[in-house]
Chains A and B, each alone.
Chain A
Amino acid sequence: MGELLFSFGYGGSLIVLGFITKVFVRKMEADIVSKHTEIKEEKVGM
């Protein structure tokens, strides 16, 4: 049983890390959108 869990868990840890990375990368994308919006608003303000 432990051996079966290990067989899934060893590569499975990479899958979990993949989803964690996905969350962070999406947040980075959102940063870009908000940054560009900020820059546009500044230009309008000028």
Chain B
Amino acid sequence: MIFTIGIIVSFILYVLIGIVLSKKVKTSEEYYVSGRQGSTLMVTGMLVASFLSTVSFMGEAGFSYEGYPILLLILVIFNATGYVIGVFFFGRYLRRSKSLTVPEYFGNRFQSNKVRMAAAITTILGITAYLVAVTQGGALLLSEISGVSYTVALLIMWLVYASFTILSGAKGVMVNDTIMFFLFSLATYISFPFIINNAGGFPEAIVKAATNPERPDLLSWHGITGPNAYMGEPWEALIWAIILGLVWSAVIAISPWQSSRYLMAKNEHVAIRSGVLATVSIIAIYLFLHLSISTITTVKADINPTEKVFIWAAMNMVPKWLGIIIVSGIMAAALSSCASFLQLIGSSITRDIMEQSRNKKYSDQKLLRISRISMIITSIVILLIGLWQPPSIMWIGYFAATLFAASWGPVAFASVFSKKVTKTGALWSIIAGFLGVVLGETVKKFGVVLPVYFNPVIIGVILSLLALYLGSKFGDISIEERNFQENILTRPLEDNEKEEMRITKRYPSILIGSGIAIIILTFVFYYWPLTLAM
């Protein structure tokens, strides 16, 4: 009961913030990109909050609990690079375009409504699938904790995130995401000493996890491997972690729910600083979360389904007040992703499809009104799919996220740096990447086992690159396209450029200093206890 009250209090807070901020939304730019006034803290909060969801705190936590915490952290090494690569090679150029949506950027860059439409359709299909999966994960958690039925839990979840997103748009998403970011970060960091203490204290808890007969090899770099383990041999597990890590790095760098956050940054310096802080946050959150999860195996080794491992710890291994923070934090991770996804789908439907395909030019107030109406309709469709589809479809979330690495990856980087890519190449590339991933996943659904290096995303990326190259043999590049590219390659200088530069110059040192601190923490909390167990 106390957990339910904690969650409801946080829900009421998010909705109230949405209501208050809705009164401040006067223009479409405020509704779509929060007036481009995002501070470093807020853009960092949005980047991390829209990345972490039930996939992280439930799906990946379960994977870690089953025997692969270090393998998952190896994946994160590659995954987290996406923020720095993303902001320097795509995000800051996207921001310079002053677009309101990412498909709009592609449309303007290639002076093509077809390219914009293809990007908008992939955005809507991919993110809708991801949104349904995350909503269902959150609803399962809510029904588990509160005792209400899954249907009622889904309705409550939907009502909360849809209300503040529809009312206040990007403005509400930005403030709520930042609050949610603090909530789940706090839950992860504070729970670590409590869970370790409950599992036998330090360093005994880690030593016990490393020598647990129920999970031999749990804390080895490859986790539980061998003929009977589903990750196969150690080398297969490593290749899997590196490939998926690189794919997720591309997802972080160019996917609409990550790259569009830079559109809200106050200036380019804020975008770069946010990318740096998001990298440090992800690395730190994952380290403490998965070391905590590994020690839970020594207290209870048969949690089923394994996705509930962190929730079980919140209810059984830590004080009540901390348990409330953890379950509210996991709900916050789910809600923040849902809000960002809904906002992106609504924006794309209104601006990239309704306005563009009908060759209409809405007045600002009309655009604002139609955006809200289309978001209401979108959210109702999402709710109906969520009720109709069987829950716990984690693979859909994974498929939808990685889809963008293939469909958008090659064309996103080429749009900035290539002078040879034509609109035909861009269009073919987006479509071929999308179809490649769908084809690979369909083949898998029919029981065909693909080797690890032929992950559906890899098929999609290869097809997308081929289509980009072959398609660019056709068509000419217009003066407008050249001018647009020239403009985004020119860095705008701020009025207080020297002051901004002085602050940004500290950020490489923040990364290096954090790296040294993380190495020390990894040695203290992982490697040293491991040597005691050997």
Chain A residues engaging chain B, CB cutoff 8 angstroms: 2-22, 24-25, 28-29, 31-32, 35
Contacts and interface: CB of A to CB of B under 8 A. Distances in A.
Contacts of A18: 508-512, 515
Contacts of B527: 3-4, 7
B522 A15 contact: no
Nearest to B530: A3
A4 B221 CA distance: 9
Among B73, B219, B493, B517, find the residue whose CB has the most chain A CB atoms closer than 10 A.
B493
A5 B221 contact: yes
Interface in B491-534: 491, 493, 497-498, 501, 504-505, 507-512, 514-523, 526-527, 530
Contacts of B519: 7-8, 10-12
Nearest to B493: A35
Given A7-B522, A8-B519, A17-B81, A28 B501 contact: yes
Interface residues of B, number: 45
B283 A10 contact: yes
A11 to B, nearest CB: 3
B222 interface: yes
A6 B88 CA distance: 26
Contact of B84 (A2, A4, A17, A29): A17
Contact of B501 (A8, A22, A24, A32): A32
B207 interface: no
Interface in B213-234: 219-222
A11 B501 contact: no
A7 to B, nearest CB: 4
Contacts of B515: 11-18
19 contacts: A2-B222, A3-B527, A5-B221, A7-B522, A11-B283, A11-B522, A13-B80, A13-B283, A14-B280, A14-B511, A14-B514, A17-B515, A21-B508, A21-B511, A22-B508, A25-B504, A25-B505, A32-B493, A32-B497
B522 to A, nearest CB: 5
B156 interface: no
A15 B507 contact: no
A29 to B, nearest CB: 6
Contacts of A24: 88, 272
